[in-house]
Amino acid sequence: MKFQVLTISVVIDHDLFHDYNQYENKDFKNSLVKKLLDKIATQKKLQIKGRKKTYVLYSEKDITNDIVMFKLGKRSITELHVEMDDDIESTKIEDTPFVLGFISLSKQAILVGMDNKIINKDTIINILEEGLNSVQKDNVVSYDFKISPLKETQYFWDLVEHNSDSIKEIQLDFYPPNFIGYSKQIKEQLKATKEETNNSKLSLIYKNENGFLKVKQDFFGDMVEYTNTSGEWRLVVIKDSKKRTYQSKNAGSSKVIEKNVVDFFSENMTNNEISINEKNKYISRIVEIVEHIYDKENN
């Protein structure tokens, strides 16, 4: 089964305190995510109102010191038609199908099942972000969680290659500063900007109205890499007098988790008839997948 890979950025508002470096570090931001998950686990479930549906998030269990399992369900009403001795009767029941997910603190990442019959991938991002930000937070700091898909870098450069003579605009959105990524230089620049301005997002737009924008990897490479883990990009091309827009959300990365592993965590993790050794095999598989979320790191 495919699981999409999402990244978690913690954007801190520094108006409420003075020591910037005390809070802008990976350990502190991980502690905020951990506190949040503990709160959800304490209250058993988190109800999230969508546009048309109500969703529910269960923070299920810490399967390691780093990885937390969750279930995200969508509430719906199902009508059943039951055949009786002399009639057919209708009855309505509440149904909550769910997708399985895992949050890694060290990777600042989420693995969540992709099943459009239950919840489509774009809705999952919106619901998770809205839900996490709705939980009452620590009064010491003001912050928000920003969730975005981990993007495949090659998707962007393939688009550039195929449209090299007709690129009109590139927009790059950065959520600063993120501590998982590829470019130390970009991270340091964003950190400095954050410290000076207290911005929650930085957007850069490069434009050539005639479609002759030069997009070279030695100039844009580090910036695109950063947005792939903590940000978004948008590419606008003009061909045959028609404008077409490509967005980073369509470049999402995914991992495959075997069905028997998914079934174990969905249904059987608390089954005492399954041996500890057997359970550890499934847990080890999730740990292995989490370790390979990023092909390369530069922290």
Q: How confident is the model at residue 128 (pLDDT cuts 50, 70, 90)?
A: very high
Please give the mean pLDDT across all residues of the chain. 85
Structure tokens, 139: 């009064």
> Do residue 214 and residue 111 come from a single domain?
no
pLDDT above 80 for 124: yes
Q: How confident is the model at residue 298 (pLDDT cuts 50, 70, 90)?
A: very low
Number of domains, the chain: 2
pLDDT by residue (tens digit) across 53-70?
899 998 866 788 889 899
Query: Which residue has 């995200």 as its token pair?
Result: 72
Mean pLDDT, residues 77-88 taken together: 88
> Do residue 87 and residue 158 come from a single domain?
no
Residue 92: give the domain boundaries.
2-150+252-291
> Do residue 137 and residue 262 come from a single domain?
yes
Tell me the CB-side half-sphere exposure of residue 38, using CA atoms within 13 A: 11
Residue 299 is predicted with a pLDDT of 36
Q: Name the pTM for this structure.
A: 0.81
Does the residue 299 lie in any domain? no
pLDDT above 90 for 219: yes
pLDDT above 50 for 132: yes
> Do residue 174 and residue 266 come from a single domain?
no
Does the residue 221 lie in any domain? yes
Question: Residue 239: phi, psi to the nearest 5?
Answer: -135, 130
Mean pLDDT, residues 115-121 taken together: 86
> Do residue 157 and residue 122 come from a single domain?
no
> Do residue 241 and residue 268 come from a single domain?
no
Q: Of the ranges 56-70, 228-242, 280-294, which one carries the lowest mean pLDDT score?
A: 56-70
Structure tokens, 112: 């969540």
> Do residue 176 and residue 123 come from a single domain?
no
